[in-house]
């Protein structure tokens, strides 16, 4: 964590920022090692150019924060104390003149912005998101280890879902079987709401699982991930229940071809845009160009969506150490929806897939 704090401090010096205050669960975790969802209570890491950083959290979480490895100052406030007064007093002791503050503009709400402004009237606020995203984009060995484990658990979750499929079982019942098994494995948090969609419901890329029962001839789509020690996985598999028709088969094979072509192209120096276009072209060539309405993929780490974004306009060059998804899909309303998604790690020469559930069409 010290290394990360120092990189942020160096950036602050070049930008003449005297105080950075990070407040999202993920960025606090990235900088402090402490991952917590404080609900409506304030959680934040304060960083200065040269002075000692601090963590502010509810008093009842101070022990956990220390146990997570944070060995700088902790401001713990009770439910009847005002954390902003305590932050102001803490900073006053450091004798700093603060006129530019970096915050997560997309996260700091108006009430908190006003509280911070009142402490340092007239100061300018700059966005810290881009810098943190850049820092988080290249994973170190420890992060990779956790991402690998999260991906293995996601593979196991897919297998659990496949095993649960039978005639007449509902999407939500299959979902419950998956999450029950994950809990038994010690996973307390999924990285987003698990999706189990059957038949025509899968033709919506962001469909919501419900009471629909799985029937013979359906394609069943699973999209899920787990959080393992703060790191997220994200996998999609689409399987067949009983015999499916030629159209469904064609859609599946097209998505698979697009996914494999994009994965085969991953290596340092290739742009995000090139990857997206390889998959998009494969799908267009098969006549389904109008049915792939989203980007090819997204970075993965402490957040389930982070940099790099794999879009058809992103000129960013891939680098060793990046981790992102590749997830082409074809969604034909009233017919079928198929998506196949893996988590890729960029190596020196190419890509390593962290997720490994088989992609040859599975028949249940």
236 phi and psi angles, rounded to 5 deg: -130, 135
Q: Which residues pair with 220 in a beta bridge?
A: 198, 239
If you compute the radius of gyration of the chain from its CA atoms, what whole number of angstroms results? 23
Burial of residue 129 (number of CB atoms within 10 Å: 0-12, 13-18, 19+): middle
Site for Mn ion, rule CB under 5 A:
223, 234, 236, 325, 341
Which residue lies nearer to Mn ion by CB, 83 or 225?
Answer: 225
Which residue lies nearer to Mn ion by CB, 100 or 362?
Answer: 362
Distance CA 68, CA 86 (A): 22
Which residue lies nearer to Mn ion by CB, 83 or 308?
Answer: 308
Contacts 24+ apart (CB under 8 A), 351-354: 351/263, 351/266, 351/267, 353/263, 354/147, 354/148, 354/150, 354/151, 354/152, 354/233, 354/323
Which residue lies nearer to Mn ion by CB, 11 or 231?
Answer: 231
CA angle 284, 204, 301 (to 5 degrees): 85
Which residue lies nearer to Mn ion by CB, 34 or 291?
Answer: 291
Query: In this structure, is the dihedral angle defined by the CA atoms of residues 197, 200, 206 and 212, taken in order, positive or negative?
Result: negative
Which residue lies nearer to Mn ion by CB, 61 or 143?
Answer: 143
Distance CA 139, CA 149 (A): 14
Min. distance of Cβ 235 from Mn ion in angstroms?
7
């Amino acid at each position: 964590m010290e290394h990360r704090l120092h990189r942020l401090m160096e950036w602050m010096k070049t930008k003449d920022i005297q105080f950075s205050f990070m407040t999202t669960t993920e960025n606090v975790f990235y900088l402090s090692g402490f991952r917590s969802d404080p609900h409506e209570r304030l959680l934040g890491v304060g960083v200065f150019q040269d002075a000692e950083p601090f963590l502010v959290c509810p008093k009842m979480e101070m022990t956990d924060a220390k146990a997570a490895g944070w060995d700088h100052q902790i401001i713990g406030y009770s439910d009847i104390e005002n954390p902003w007064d305590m932050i102001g007093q803490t900073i006053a002791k450091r004798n700093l003149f603060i006129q530019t503050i970096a915050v997560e503009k997309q996260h700091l709400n108006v009430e908190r912005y006003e509280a911070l402004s009142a402490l340092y009237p007239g100061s300018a606020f700059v966005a810290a998101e881009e810098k943190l995203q850049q820092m988080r984009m290249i994973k170190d060995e420890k992060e990779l280890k956790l991402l690998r484990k999260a991906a293995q658990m996601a593979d196991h979750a897919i297998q659990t879902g496949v095993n649960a499929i039978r005639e007449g079982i509902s999407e939500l019942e299959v979902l419950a079987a998956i999450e029950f098994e994950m809990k038994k494995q010690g996973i307390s948090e999924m990285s987003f709401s698990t999706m189990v969609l059957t038949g025509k419901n899968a033709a919506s890329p962001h469909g919501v699982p419900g009471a629909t029962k799985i029937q013979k001839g359906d394609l069943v789509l699973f999209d899920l991930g787990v959080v393992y020690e703060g790191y997220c996985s994200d996998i999609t598999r689409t399987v067949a229940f009983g015999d499916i028709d030629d159209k469904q088969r064609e859609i599946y094979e097209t998505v698979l071809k697009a996914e494999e072509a994009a994965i085969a192209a991953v290596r340092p120096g290739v742009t995000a845009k090139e990857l997206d276009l390889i998959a998009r072209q494969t799908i267009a060539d098969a006549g389904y160009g109008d049915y792939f309405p989203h980007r090819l993929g997204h970075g993965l780490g402490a957040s389930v969506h982070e940099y790099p974004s794999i879009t058809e306009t992103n000129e960013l060059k891939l680098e060793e150490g990046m981790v992102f998804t590749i997830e082409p899909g074809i969604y034909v309303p009233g017919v079928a929806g198929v998506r196949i998604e893996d988590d890729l790690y960029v190596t020196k020469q190419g890509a390593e897939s962290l997720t490994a559930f088989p992609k040859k069409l599975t028949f249940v």
